[in-house]
Copies of this chain bind each other. A is one copy, B any other.
């Protein structure tokens, strides 16, 4: 793996984007209304902020920013696209944690939304974040060309909807036997939908903002796809081998839930070998960008090697 970026330098870049995303989300989630809005009820905004302004690595916005930077796109544009994407991610966590879904009381060591507030507020905070994402991605500041903003909007809807993230969540529940006979899910397809689609969207958003050529778009699409699988593969390995303190949640949750994962499918060694292979492929997918792909190369290495 060739990369001109040290782990420390990469960590700094990640932190900077995370801090900028946090600031931007804070502004986007203020109680102040925009034209066309009547009032932003305080309790709703409070619940939306509670689940969005909680730090985190902001990996999805980072992918949007890093992919856009390959084309020299101004950072504020990419940060807005990243913020829209993060709103979708945060809404999905709120809804996934609900009692009727994964029934989780804690998320990153803090009470989940329905525990901190109540179930109705949590559902509406999720609905609000989902809807706000589509408001943000259409804004003039994202790009001067309406066709670009429209392409970003549609791709976001596809990645997060029935053929992407929402569809992935119902497949995950079906795999647990929630709707009758338990059918072992197609792990690769499930991962592509439930977690992969949004991660890949970050890369695609950068390509759309950067008016990528067909070849460049295909390269980022391929990279995003590989990144998503590497992310999930590492996640599945962490659930088996990870340290609960570093994870901020108990390890072994997948096994306890009887989930089919990359690890149950390939074994620990097989999953690790696959992860190495994915990193190599991600590396070569970025070939068209030369050294400009180094940040994305480092990002793939980062998710593969992360401890939480």
Contact = CB atoms under 8 A, between A and B. Distances in A.
B135 A123 contact: no
Contact of A124 (B131, B139, B169): B169
A170 B160 CA distance: 24
B161 A132 contact: yes
Given A138-B157, A154-B135, A170-B41, A163 B123 contact: no
Interface residues of A, number: 62
Interface in A32-49: 33-41, 43-45, 48
Given A118-B178, A120-B100, A134-B134, A43 B162 contact: no
Interface string A110-141: 00000000111101101110111011001100
A127 B100 CA distance: 14
Contacts of A121: 170, 179
Given A101-B120, A189-B39, A131 B150 contact: no
Contact of A101 (B123, B155, B160, B192): B123
Contacts of A45: 162
A193 interface: yes
Nearest to A135: B157
A22 B180 CA distance: 30
A135 B100 CA distance: 27
B179 A118 contact: yes
Contacts of A159: 36
20 contacts: A36-B159, A36-B163, A37-B158, A37-B161, A37-B163, A37-B167, A38-B167, A39-B193, A41-B162, A118-B179, A120-B178, A124-B166, A127-B130, A131-B160, A132-B157, A135-B154, A135-B161, A139-B154, A146-B147, A153-B153
